[in-house]
Amino acid sequence: MGDTDAVRGWVRDARHIAVLTGAGMSAESGVPTFRDAQTGLWAHFDPQELATESAFRAHPQRVWDWYAHRRDMIRAVLPNAGHAALAAFARQHPGRQTLITQNVDGLHQRAGNTDALALHGSIAEDRWLDVPRACCRLDALEAGHPPRCPVCGNLRRPAVVWFGENLPADALEAAEHAARHCDLMLVVGTSGEVYPAAGLAFTAHQSGARVVIVNPEPTPLDAVAETCLRETAAVCLPVLLG
């Protein structure tokens, strides 16, 4: 168990804070985890077989409809006190916080952190499956599951990072820069098992920053932490950042 008062002092004194969030950040909002979305019809499918480019090319309607199901589930929830605390800190201390998230749910952005670095994309947005041609116009989409270009047939796909795909280069570069130059990194609600995102905590530690883990459960990243706060995001962040 870590010392909350000490961490509050580190937050106060830090010139720049990097915050890395994972699925646990949104748990108290009721956002279903990747596997929790496997209900009803979808209980028969392995989510890892629905989150690859090859799966989408083989069964575009099935994958599109699964993401529509997940979008509906996420649309029904709201940012929690942890999201609100991060957004309030960013407003009150311009330039002192870089928020990096593995989450695709958009709750940080809805809470007010519109410049959050979304390493795994956004489930609320779409992009073209293949490199768009001149005929691929958003104002002329052919409706369907998924929508497509009526001329060349190029499909729209969820703007998330699927298994086997690279993270968006600009977001990853900005996240790595923040990890190298922060004084303090808060690692909130992430399992610490998904790379390269989890590696940011090691980068921060090796660059001389204090690393603080906020997670009710132990994680592999605890080894590089100055302290671990065994609380949830919605409970802990308002105290640390208030």
**pLDDT tens figures, 60-77:** 999 999 899 889 989 999
User: Residue 193's pLDDT is what?
Assistant: 86
CA distance 203 to 209: 9
- Examine the residue annotation and report whether 205 is marked as an active-site residue of this protein: no
- Domains of the chain in sequence order: 1-29+79-120+166-242 (3.40.50.1220), 32-76+124-160 (3.30.1600.10)
Are the beta carbons of 104 and 165 closer than 8 angstroms? no
User: Residue 33's pLDDT is what?
Assistant: 64
Those residues whose C-beta lies under 8 Å from the C-beta of residue 114, and which sit 6 or more positions away, are none
Residue 186: phi and psi, rounded to 5, are: -100, 125
User: Residue 179's pLDDT is what?
Assistant: 98
User: Residue 223's pLDDT is what?
Assistant: 93
What's the rounded mean pLDDT across residues 153-169?
96
The DSSP letter of residue 89 is: H
What's the rounded mean pLDDT across residues 104-109?
96
Distances (CA, A) of 210 to 4, 5, 24, 242: 14, 15, 21, 19
Q: Is the pLDDT of residue 105 over 50?
A: yes
Within a 13 Å sphere around the CA of 176, how many CA atoms are in the beta-carbon half? 10
CA distance 62 to 146: 9
User: Residue 99's pLDDT is what?
Assistant: 98
pTM: 0.91
Q: What is the mean pLDDT of the chain?
A: 93
User: Residue 49's pLDDT is what?
Assistant: 78
What's the rounded mean pLDDT across residues 183-211?
95
**pLDDT tens figures, 107-152:** 999 999 999 999 999 999 999 999 999 999 999 999 999 999 999 9
Are the beta carbons of 223 and 201 closer than 8 angstroms? no
> pLDDT confidence of 1, banded at 50, 70, 90?
very low
Sign of torsion, CA 78 83 89 90? negative
Token pair for 70: 């997940």
Are the beta carbons of 119 and 197 closer than 8 angstroms? yes
The DSSP letter of residue 155 is: B
Which one of the listed residues 83, 108, 120, 205 is annotated catalytic?
A: 120
CA distance 201 to 217: 17
**pLDDT tens figures, 10-24:** 999 999 999 999 999
Q: Is the pLDDT of residue 40 over 70?
A: no
